[in-house]
Chains A and B, each alone.
Chain A
Amino acid sequence: QVQLQESGPGLVKPSETLSLTCTVSGYSISSGYYWGWVRQPPGKGLEWIGSISHSGSTYYNPSLKSRVAISLDTSKNQFSLKLHSVTAADTAVYYCARPRDFWSSDAFDIWGQGTMVTVSS
C-alpha cells in the first residue's frame, strides 16, 4: 500500500524559501511514476504546482515556474518542493500526490494528508 506524507516548517517568513518534503512508503520512487505537488489556500480551490518524473524531469505551473523547484532524493525515497520569495499569497495547505497511471502525470489517486504552511513575519 503506497502512502505519502508531507513534512516541513509550518511557518515561513515573507521573502524566504518554503521547503517541503514528501516521504513515500510502499513504493520506490526511482522505479516509476510521476510525483506531484498541489496546494490549496484557506477557503479556496486547488492549484497544481508541478510534477517530477522518476527520472528527474520536471514540469511546473507557468505562473509559479520562476519560483519553484521540485527534486528527488531516491536514497531517502523522498521528493521535495522549494518555493522561493514567498508572500502571504503562498499560505496554503500543500499536498503531495501520485497519479494513477505509471506513464502519465494525470489524475492523482494517492494523496498525502496535506500540511499547512503559513507565510507571516
Chain B
Amino acid sequence: QSALTQPASVSGSPGQSITISCTGARSDVGGYNFVSWYQQHPGKAPKLLIYEVTNRPSGVSNRFSGSKSGNTASLTISGLQAEDEADYYCSSYTGASTYVFGTGTKVTVL
C-alpha cells in the first residue's frame, strides 16, 4: 500500500489561490469517490477539510474546495490567508475498508 503522491511544498501570496494535487491509482483515488483532505498545524491533530472528494464539513471555510479527475484529486485554497500556512494531507479509500494517506504538502504563505 503506497502513499498517495503530493507535492512536498506549495506557496502563494495572501489573496491568491493555490492547488495541491494528490495522485494515486485506479485502485484508490481513481476507483472511489472517498477522497478526504486534512489540514495540520504544527503540534496539532489533523483537521478534516473535505470528504467524499468535494464536500465540506460544517464550519469549514468555503475557501477550501476539492475535486477529482481520473487518478488525481486536488484541493484548492482560494483567497489564501496567513492562517492557511500548514501541512495538508489527502486520504483515499483503497478497498476492503482500508485507507491510505498522501505524502503531505507544506503550504507557505509568502
Say if A and B assemble together. yes
The chain A residues found within 8 Å of chain B, CB to CB, are: 38, 44-48, 51, 59-63, 95, 97, 100, 104-109, 111-114
**B97 part of interface (Cβ distance < 8 Å):** yes
Closest to A59 in B: B97
Closest to B92 in A: A106
Instruction: Give the distance to chain B from A48, nearest Cβ to Cβ, in Å.
Output: 4
Which 9 residue pairs across A and B have the least CB separation, nearest first?
Answer: A107-B51, A111-B45, A59-B97, A45-B104, A46-B101, A109-B48, A107-B36, A48-B99, A106-B34
A106 contacts B89, C-beta separation under 8 Å: no
Closest to B104 in A: A45
Total chain B interface residues with beta-carbon distance under 8 A: 25
Closest to B96 in A: A59
Q: What DSSP secondary structure best describes chain A's contact surface?
A: loop
Chain B residues, CB < 8 A from A104: 34
- B91, B99, B100 — which one has the most chain A CB atoms within 10 A of its CB? B99
**B3 part of interface (Cβ distance < 8 Å):** yes
Instruction: Give the distance to chain A from B24, nearest Cβ to Cβ, in Å.
Output: 14
Chain A residues, CB < 8 A from B48: 100, 107-109
B51 contacts A106, C-beta separation under 8 Å: yes
B3 contacts A45, C-beta separation under 8 Å: yes
Task: Please report the C-alpha to C-alpha distance between residue A114 and residue B43 in the assembled complex, in whole angstroms.
Answer: 9
Partner of A45, one of B47, B93, B96, B102: B102
Knowing A45-B89, A45-B102, A111-B45, say if A105 contacts B97 (CB, 8 Å).
yes
Q: List 11 A-B contacts (CB under 8 A).
A: A38-B46, A44-B104, A46-B104, A59-B96, A59-B97, A61-B98, A106-B51, A106-B99, A107-B34, A107-B91, A111-B46
B104 contacts A105, C-beta separation under 8 Å: no
Closest to A4 in B: B45
Instruction: Give the distance to chain B from A66, nearest Cβ to Cβ, in Å.
Output: 13
